[in-house]
Amino acid sequence: MVGKDKIEWAQEWMPVLKVISKEFSKSKPFRNIKISMALHLEAKTAALAIALKQGGAKVRIAGCNPLSTDDEVAVSLKSDFGVDVFAHRGLSKEEYYEYLNKVLEHEPDLIIDDGGDLTALAHSRPEFSKHIIGGNEETTTGVVRLKNMERAGKLKFPMFDVNDALMKHLFDNRYGTGQSTLDGIMNATNLVIAGKNVVVAGYGWCGRGIALRMKGMGAKVSVTEIDPFKAIEAHMDGFNVGPMEEVIKSADFVVTATGMKDVVTLKTLRNAKNGVILANAGHFNNEIAVEEVERKFKGKSVRGNVKRYEIEKKKIYILSDGRLVNLASGQGHPVEIMDLSFSIQALTAEYIVKSPPKQNKVFPVPETVDGKVASICLKSYGIGIDTLTKDQVDYMNSWEEGT
Ligand code: ADE
């Protein structure tokens, strides 16, 4: 399949973005607006870039991870759709930053980021960021970085937290990561999940989704947590809960989804079962001690995206060098899921242009944006819901009578 076919397939299954694109084509909210983006560049992302371009924007895009670009899509986005693309799969660190710089040299009015690298770069290169009126951040890790910048008084333009919009994290983080992580692991290994012991590190929305889908495929799932509330939730959801040092002893697969570094260290790996397979579903490749393991034990590539290490006579396998397994070994989240996330991105970008915030803060996505995506989504799925009667609304707003 060529890049254009992949993009058109994605567009066909993105009904919400389709409605928004049509509106954008007419209203041109981004006329004279330059948008710089750093996102995982694959077919669904291309659909977002095209929608913004249809809205009148001049768009430049780079990848936000060295291994997540789909080269066919990148080529087509440039040649068939006229978007300025700076990305290819398998970037060195230098190339990765060279491309981010190219995107920023556009001197954007708006930025759209996934993970926070473009935002951080914009702050270190004020000569190219002086026109920025605001931006959006896609993911949990990026929002944590933004809030740290805000707390330190370093944030130089307003940013919107797309991750915490309901129509984003309830579906993308849970069902998107749940399905695409399994897709990546199965694609890389071609092994059965049923009957396996699977450890999921982290029980945030992503971890919940992975644990749920692993259980659905017949795995025996253990969860590790540092948060007592989430640990109890995982326990009551029916999962075994324990410290990594313990549960890794019987694990066939370990999947990290914490957003924290050093979740699986070399020390932890000394407890691991022979043949354990490690995969990361968090944004950065620092959840598993890949660099240290590679430096000390020199991995051997045994299959596309699978490296084997011999550590004290034990075989340890690491998928896609510890990078986001769902994108590096899979196809990213399902199309209908990214339809919702990218519709939130598109409408939040429009909101910034129409009502640019005055303060340099991290803002939640406006409820009107979340609500609009939900209502177009329901309509496109053909799902009807009930509405409250006036009597019920009055009841909800009253306090006098309990019975
Ligand atoms: N495709 C594009 N962006 C993605 C993301 N953040 N997660 C999973 N799949 C994606």
234-274 residue pLDDT tens: 999 999 999 999 999 999 999 999 999 999 999 999 999 99
For 268, the domain range is 173-328
CB contact at 8 A, 331 and 303: no
Is 300 among the domain residues?
yes
Is 394 among the domain residues?
no
pTM of the prediction?
A: 0.96
Calculate mean pLDDT across residues 345-364.
Answer: 98
> What is the token pair recorded at 8?
């058109």
**What is the distance in A from the centroid of ligand 1 to the CA of 40?**
6
**What is the distance in A from the centroid of ligand 1 to the CA of 397?**
40
Nearest CA to ligand 1 atom 9: 332
**pLDDT (tens digit per residue) in 111-169:** 999 999 999 999 999 999 999 999 999 999 999 999 999 999 999 999 999 999 999 99
Whether the pLDDT of residue 1 is over 90: the answer is no
Say what the pLDDT of residue 223 is: 98
Q: How confident is the model at residue 401 (pLDDT cuts 50, 70, 90)?
A: confident
Looking at the fold, whether 259 and 186 belong to one and the same domain comes out as yes
Calculate mean pLDDT across residues 315-320.
Answer: 98
**What is the distance in A from the centroid of ligand 1 to the CA of 333?**
6
Q: CA 206, 210, 213 angle in degrees (round to 5)?
A: 140
Say what the pLDDT of residue 126 is: 97
Whether the pLDDT of residue 183 is over 70: the answer is yes
Say what the pLDDT of residue 245 is: 97
Looking at the fold, whether 361 and 318 belong to one and the same domain comes out as no
**pLDDT (tens digit per residue) in 215-228:** 999 999 999 999 99
Say what the pLDDT of residue 77 is: 98
Share of the chain above pLDDT 90, in %: 98
Mutate to test the pocket of ligand 1, among 13, 41, 68, 73 (most ligand atoms within 8 A of CB): 68
Is 70 among the domain residues?
yes
Looking at the fold, whether 70 and 204 belong to one and the same domain comes out as no
CA torsion through residues 284, 285, 288, 291, sign = negative
CA distances from 237 to 52, 73, 209 (A): 40, 39, 12
Of ligand 1's listed atoms, the one at least distance from the Cα of 332 is 9
Looking at the fold, whether 111 and 248 belong to one and the same domain comes out as no
Looking at the fold, whether 270 and 157 belong to one and the same domain comes out as no
Looking at the fold, whether 240 and 126 belong to one and the same domain comes out as no
> What is the token pair recorded at 82?
């006229």
> What distance in Å separates the CA atoms of residue 203 and residue 326, rounded to the nearest whole number?
17
Ligand 1: residues with CB < 6 A are 39-40, 42, 44-45, 114, 138-139, 176, 180, 326-327, 332-333, 338
Looking at the fold, whether 69 and 197 belong to one and the same domain comes out as no
Amino acid at site 363: F
CA torsion through residues 231, 236, 238, 242, sign = positive
Whether the pLDDT of residue 382 is over 80: the answer is yes
Q: How confident is the model at residue 6 (pLDDT cuts 50, 70, 90)?
A: very high
Looking at the fold, whether 127 and 10 belong to one and the same domain comes out as yes
Whether the pLDDT of residue 41 is over 70: the answer is yes
Share of the chain above pLDDT 70, in %: 100
Tally of domains in the chain: 2
Nearest CA to ligand 1 atom 3: 40
Is 397 among the domain residues?
no
Looking at the fold, whether 57 and 111 belong to one and the same domain comes out as yes
Q: Across all residues in the chain, what is the average pLDDT?
A: 97
Is 398 among the domain residues?
no
CATH of the domain at 377: 3.40.50.1480
Looking at the fold, whether 269 and 344 belong to one and the same domain comes out as no
Q: Cβ atoms within 10 A of the Cβ of 242, count?
A: 16
CATH of the domain at 322: 3.40.50.720
**What is the distance in A from the centroid of ligand 1 to the CA of 338?**
7
Of ligand 1's listed atoms, the one at least distance from the Cα of 39 is 3
Say what the pLDDT of residue 328 is: 96
Whether the pLDDT of residue 179 is over 80: the answer is yes
Looking at the fold, whether 41 and 163 belong to one and the same domain comes out as yes
Is 214 among the domain residues?
yes
Torsion of CA 85, 88, 91, 97, to 10 degrees: 0
Looking at the fold, whether 64 and 125 belong to one and the same domain comes out as yes
Strands of 110-113's sheet in order across: 84-86, 58-62, 34-38, 110-113, 134-137, 159-161, 362-364
Q: How confident is the model at residue 403 (pLDDT cuts 50, 70, 90)?
A: low
Say what the pLDDT of residue 400 is: 81
